[in-house]
Amino acid sequence: MKKLLGILVLGLLTSCASHQDRLSEYMSLSERALCISYYEILVSGKNHPAKLEAIEKRSIDCQPYEKEGLLAGKRRNEYYQGLKDNLDHLGSSSTGQTVCTTQRIGTSGVAKTTCREK
């Protein structure tokens, strides 16, 4: 749950970054990392103008990294589909009722939540 929350927060923070901020970040990436991440995002059907602009400005030939990037994109999509399936499963049950209990563990504020069908 903490990982999912972390991913969500990171996604929100990243989406707030301007095109110029992203472009500056991508200009400093290695050719390999930039190309793989570009192909990876293309697999999901999205476009990333800052990555493409960085590739064009640096005159990078991404062809050698295409296969690796497409595979990374496929793995990424499968991972997120698995997360979605798990979340969908949490919200449904055969009886339609799920009971969740949250317990605090120690004094650190860590909480453990367990759910079961009623």
Q: What is the pLDDT of residues 51-107, one digit of tens each?
A: 999 999 999 999 999 999 999 999 988 888 888 877 776 765 555 677 777 777 776
CA distance 101 to 98: 10
CA distance 57 to 19: 14
| pLDDT band, residue 9 (cuts 50/70/90) | low
Q: What is the mean pLDDT of residues 8-32?
A: 77
